[in-house]
Amino acid sequence: MTEIAKSRSRKGSQRPADAPLPRTAATARAPQALLSRMQAPITAAQRYAMICEAAYFLAERRGFGAGHELEDWVAAEALIDAKLADGRYRAP
């Protein structure tokens, strides 16, 4: 058999790029792994609780000085909304 014939016979035995992968234990678990990484939507109550906690820690960092409650709340709301938009928080 010539080199060209050998290379053609090897190429013919390769799986086409669009052919489905054979089912193995690893590929059978893949959809479940993807589902476990998907994020559940955050409820309004969960978002509110996150903002409350973040505002508390912002106030604590400031020494709980009076008169800055609205600033703490707005900053916490922006922080939590940014993290939710980036996907850094997951629903429990």
H or E segment and range at residue 58 = helix 44-62
Alpha carbons within 13 A on the beta-carbon side of 6: 3
Running DSSP on this structure, what letter comes out for residue 67?
A: T
The reply to whether 23 falls in a domain is no
Average pLDDT estimate for 36-41 = 61
Structural domain containing residue 73: 40-92
Number of domains in the chain: 1
Q: Examine residue 3 and state whether it is found in any structural domain, yes or no.
A: no
pLDDT band at residue 87, thresholds of 50, 70 and 90?
confident
In the prediction, which pLDDT does 10 show? 54
Report the predicted TM-score, pTM, of the whole model to 2 decimal places. Answer: 0.54
- With respect to residue 53, please indicate whether it lies within any of the assigned structural domains: yes
Answer yes or no: are the C-beta atoms of 38 and 91 closer than 8 Å: no
Q: Please check whether residue 35 lies inside any domain of the structure.
A: no
Q: In angstroms, rounded to a whole number, what is the distance separating the alpha carbons of residues 13 and 7? A: 10
Answer with the residue of higher pLDDT: 38 or 74.
74
For 85, the token pair is: 């938009």
* 91 inside domain: yes
